[in-house]
């Protein structure tokens, strides 16, 4: 479904991604881990066309996401993204935050958008908060509105960049439960997270990235119990 081929990206003199190759099949959950600055966020941003690659290609099925004539908005409809920083519109209710894209990008009627938004809010456990403004919601609830907003576009793939790292443990759990629900539904996901319980339970594969390169990739048991590389072992030791 998602194919990353020899992707390179530099900022100035700093090579942030150095020849990344990765394939994610439909229904797979790819968890990305690695030290700070290893290029995890940059990689997600490239997949979503928020950042342009220097060379290499990223394909979603047959669509070359990285091609100059591919419309970034079309990419972002099919590849939803949830960030660490909850970026809701403060002056809009939860429901309006979700309907906005449906109206503008998908051309839904007001009524269609409302129905869709309410069903997505229900999916993330927020049916009764549709009329609340972001300031009236907890961090975990805001993050779930962000997830509902991305899901409303009916994406092929969902990207998560440390969706719980700004949250208290209790609020993190609400968000992780929603993510687990998506895993159970068979959603294709690429997730950057420090939540090793999610990685252990939810990941099809874990990719360990360091200094812009994939050091090791495999099923969770391999990376946790039996890493092939010393570097991987050290990393998992350090976050235990
Ligand atoms: P963290 O775990 O801290 O979130 P990360 O693995 O997500 O780290 P990235 O955010 O991808 O790392 O950053 C990789 C490197 O690229 C860092 O050294 C960062 O300073 C640099 N970088 C990222 N974005 C930019 C930018 N827009 N301009 C310049 N340098 C950048
Ligand atoms: Mg990051």
* pLDDT attached to residue 163: 93
ipTM metric = 0.97
Beta-carbon contacts of 10 under 8 Å, excluding residues fewer than 6 positions away, are 16, 54
Residue-level length of the chain: 240
In the chain, which residue ranges form alpha helices assigned H by DSSP? 40-47, 72-78, 94-104, 110-123, 139-152, 169-185, 196-202, 220-225, 230-238
Ligand 1 — pocket residues by CB below 6 A?
11, 14, 16, 34, 36-42
Give the separation between CA 192 and CA 173, rounded to whole angstroms.
16
**Most distant pair of Cα atoms in the chain: their distance:** 56
The predicted-structure confidence for 42-94, as pLDDT tens digits, reads as follows: 999 999 999 999 999 999 999 999 999 999 988 998 999 999 887 899 999 99
Closest CA to 86 of 176, 183, 196, 164: 164
Q: What is the pLDDT of residue 238?
A: 86
46 C-alpha to ligand 2 centroid (Å) = 13
Evaluate the CA torsion angle 16, 18, 19, 22 in order and state its sign: negative
- Sign of the CA dihedral running 203, 208, 213, 214: negative
Residues lying with their CB under 5 A of ligand 2, a single-atom ion: 41
pLDDT at residue 164 tops 90: yes
Mean pLDDT of 93-101: 96
Residue nearest to atom 10 of ligand 1 (CA): 41
Closest by alpha carbon to 28, among 154, 183, 148? Answer: 183
Which residue has its alpha carbon closest to ligand 1 atom 28?
11
Closest residue by CA, ligand 1 atom 23: 42
| Interatomic CA distance for residues 93 and 109, integer angstroms | 18
Per-residue tokens: 187: 């959603």
pLDDT score at 64 = 95
Q: What is the pLDDT of residue 152?
A: 95
pLDDT of residue 213: 96
Q: Stretch 11-20: mean pLDDT, rounded?
A: 96
pLDDT digit string, tens, across residues 184-236? 999 999 999 999 989 998 999 999 999 999 999 999 999 998 999 999 999 98
* Confidence label for 14 from pLDDT (cuts 50, 70 and 90): very high
Sheet holding 63-64, edge to edge: 14-24, 2-11, 55-60, 63-64
End-to-end CA, the chain: 32
Q: Which of 10, 32, 40, 162 to mutate to test the pocket of ligand 1 (most atoms within 8 A of CB)?
A: 40
């Amino acid at each position: 479904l998602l194919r990353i081929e020899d992707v390179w990206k530099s900022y100035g003199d700093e090579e942030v991604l150095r020849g990344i190759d990765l394939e994610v099949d439909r229904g797979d959950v790819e968890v990305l881990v690695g030290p700070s600055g290893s290029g995890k966020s940059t990689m997600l941003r490239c997949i979503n066309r928020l950042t342009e690659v220097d060379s290499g290609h990223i394909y979603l099925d047959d669509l070359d996401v990285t091609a100059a004539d591919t419309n970034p908005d079309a990419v972002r409809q099919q590849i939803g993204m949830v960030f660490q920083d909850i970026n809701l519109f403060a002056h809009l209710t939860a429901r309006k935050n979700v309907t906005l894209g449906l109206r503008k990008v998908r051309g839904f009627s007001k009524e269609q958008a409302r129905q869709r938004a309410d069903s997505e809010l229900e999916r993330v456990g927020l049916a009764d908060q549709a009329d609340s403004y972001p300031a009236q919601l907890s961090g975990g609830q805001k993050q779930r509105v962000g997830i509902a907003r991305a899901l409303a576009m009916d994406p092929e793939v969902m990207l998560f960049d440390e969706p719980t790292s700004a949250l208290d443990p209790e609020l993190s759990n609400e968000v992780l439960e929603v993510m687990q629900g998506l895993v159970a539904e068979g959603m294709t996901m690429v997730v950057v997270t420090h939540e090793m319980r999610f990685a252990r339970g939810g990941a099809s594969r874990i990719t360990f990235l360091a200094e812009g390169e994939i050091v090791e990739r495999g099923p969770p048991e391999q990376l946790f119990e039996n890493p092939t590389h010393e570097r991987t072992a050290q990393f998992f030791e350090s976050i235990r």
